[in-house]
Structures are given as structure tokens and as C-alpha cells.
Amino acid sequence: MMVRMRSSLVIAAVFALGSAAAADPTKADQLFDEGKQLSDKGQWQPACDKFAQAIQLDPEAPGTLLNLGRCNEKLGKIGTALGWYQKADEHAQKYNMPEYQKAAKAQIAELSPRVPSLRFEFAEPLPAGGRLFVDGTEVAQKDQARLAVDPGAHKVDVQVPHKAPIHHDVTVTERQDLQVPIGAFVAAEFVDPGRARRHRGVVFGAIGAGMFVGQGVVGFGGKLIFPDQIRPHTQGWDDVSYGLTAIGIVGVAGLAYGAYLYVTAPKPYEADRATAWVPIAGPDQLGVAYLGRF
């Protein structure tokens, strides 16, 4: 019992420490102190926000990493907390900080059995260019066999170029190990919003080309009816000439308008294409990502 109490005191002391090696030590220490004051009052979400800002200035500060784990744990985000504790353990070992590492390992050992996980069962291997996302954050290949997550609802998305997307809404509770089946990938459907416009372009282009053909026919017929020696003095030939000019103008206009319609028609795209800004928050990243298929 005495050993356990002394260990707890050591952990509490480590949680109270910040980092003196930050890229911007004054600002990082200030943010850490503000976060610590908030956590001492039990205001865990504002405390997490402060520690998250501090870690941006010093991504490898074990004290800040530990406190990020602690405040996320208090908020019930035990999967996220475990990730922060693991990062704290990693950097404490890297910088030979045994007290921090001892505190991190103690929290990892206590928390690990409670953290739920997702196991992804692929009906076929994920093709080249395929990406797996959980709540908008891409899952690294090494974590696709088993991913620790927070209890609660999660969105699972799989995107493969030129394949229909796969989406699952799942919910997990503490200690649950949930298997998520990922079915076979099927070709994506395409939508062609410019099909009618291109069709009209082809029609107008064909009319224009037809006018040119008609112009040639009329001109050839006129030459047969009006020989060269009488053509300049015949009113009928003048009518034919005017007709040929009008037909040529209509033909050019038809071809030009048809080409315009065809070139400016919207391009086909995959029916499942969608883009969105999604938040990212994890042990080694904070921010937003633009998620979609192009």
C-alpha cells in the first residue's frame, strides 16, 4: 500500500511539471501553467485546449503530453488519452527522463485494459491508393489490424480510387473489441451532367456540317444549270450565289455553336465523389483536413 501511495505521489508530481526545452519556452510554459490551473479546478476541456496549444510549441514535452493524456482521460476520451501517454513514454525514454517515463507507463498499464478498439476485416486487400479513415483521420497501415479508440460513436470510411466508397457507423463501449467488416470494392458509378449539352453540341455541329454539304450540292447544281458563259448575266445565278453565302454562314455558325456546347459541357464524375473539411485531433496531430475523392 505504501509503495502504491509513493508511486501515485511521484505521478502527481510529474503531472505538475512542464517542459523547459520548448521551442518558445516562455509561451509554452505560460500555456502549460494556464492549463494546469484549469485542470486543478476540474475544468478539463479548457485545460485540454491549453495543453494542446502548448504541445504545438513543443511537440516532445513529456510533461505536457502526460497532462494531455490526463485531461482527455477525465473527459472520457480514454483512447485519445492512451495515445498521449504512449507519446509521453516515447519521448521520456528518448530524452532519458525516468520519472516521466515511469508516470507514463503507470498510466498506460492502468488505462490499456479499458480502451476499446476497432479491428478492420477486409474482404480483399486494400488496393494501392486506398485509404482508411476513422472520424476523418487517416489510419496508418500499422494500426489497421487494431485501432484504439474512445468509447462512443465513430465513422469508418474507406476510399479507393474509382471504387464506390464504404461507410460504417459504429459504436463501442469500454473494453470492447469490435470487428468492422469491410466488404469487396465495387466500381464507382459515374454521373454525366453534361451529356445532354454535348448531345446538343453534336446535333448543331452535324447541322453545320450538313449545311456545308448542302452548299456544295447547290453550287454544283447551279453550275450545271448556268454554264460559265451565261452565269454572270443571269439573275438566277445571283439567287444561287446568295443562297450559297447564306448556307455557308449558317454552316459556320452551327459548327461553332456545336463546338462551344461540346467543349463547355460539364465533365463526367464519380457519383460518390464528395469533399469536406474534417477536424483532426490525436496524439501527434491537431487541425483540419480536406477529405474527398478527386
Compute the CA torsion angle 99, 103, 108, 109 (nearest 10 deg).
Answer: 100
Residue 137 to residue 91: CA distance in whole angstroms: 23
Rounded Cα gap, residues 96 and 104, in angstroms: 13
* The pLDDT of residue 158 is above 70: yes
Strand 152-159 with 166-172, pairing: antiparallel
- Could you tell me if 170 and 111 are in contact, meaning their C-beta atoms sit under 8 angstroms apart? no
- pLDDT by residue (tens digit) across 178-193? 999 999 998 877 677 8
Whether the per-residue pLDDT at 47 is higher than 50: the answer is yes
> Which of 31, 95, 94, 93 lies closest to 67, judged by CA?
31
For residues 37 and 44, give the distance between their C-alpha atoms in angstroms, rounded to a whole number: 10
Residue 269 β-bridge partners:
191
**What whole-number distance in Å separates Cα of residue 21 and Cα of residue 15?**
16
Q: What is the mean pLDDT of residues 264-274?
A: 70
Mean per-residue pLDDT, 14-32 = 65
- Give me the pLDDT at residue 20, please: 40
Minimum mean pLDDT among 11-15, 95-99, 112-116, 123-127: which range? 11-15
Please give the residue that has the higher pLDDT: either 248 or 266.
266
> In angstroms, rounded to a whole number, what is the distance separating the alpha carbons of residues 81 and 72?
5
* Rounded mean pLDDT, 18-26: 53
If pLDDT is split at 50, 70 and 90, which confidence band does 21 have? very low
What is the predicted pLDDT for the residue at 254?
78
pLDDT class of 8 with cuts at 50, 70, 90: very low
Do the Cβ atoms of 44 and 81 come closer than 8 Å? no
Sign, CA torsion 284/80/160/196: negative
Least confident range from 142-146, 218-222, 278-282: namely: 278-282
With a cut of 60, say whether residue 83 has pLDDT above it: yes
C-alpha cell at 38: 484549469
Angstrom distance (rounded) from CA 293 to CA 182: 19
d(CA 39, CA 261): 64
Strands 285-292 and 275-282: antiparallel
Note whether 283 and 80 are within 8 A (CB): yes
Q: In what order do the strands lie in the sheet with 137-138?
A: 137-138, 131-134, 152-159, 166-172
Residue 294 pLDDT greater than 60, yes or no: no
Name the band, by pLDDT with cuts 50, 70 and 90, for residue 67.
Answer: very high
pLDDT tens, residue by residue, 169-179: 999 999 999 99
**Better-predicted residue by pLDDT, 8 or 49:** 49
Query: What is the pLDDT at residue 42?
Result: 94
- For the chain, helix (H) and strand (E) counts, in that order, are 8, 11
Count of beta carbons in the 10 Å neighbourhood of residue 228: 7
Residue 212: band (very low, low, confident or very high) from pLDDT cuts 50, 70, 90: low
Q: What angle do CA 168, 173, 174 make, to 5 degrees?
A: 135
Contact indicator for 132, 149 with CB cutoff of 8 Å: no
Give yes or no for a contact between 82 and 148, defined as CB atoms under 8 angstroms apart: yes
Please state the pTM of the whole predicted model.
0.60
Residue 225 C-alpha cell reads as 444549270
Q: What is the pLDDT of residue 94?
A: 92
Confirm if 135 and 152 have CB atoms less than 8 A apart. Answer: no
Residue 215 has pLDDT above 80, yes or no: no
Contact 150, 77 (CB under 8 A): yes
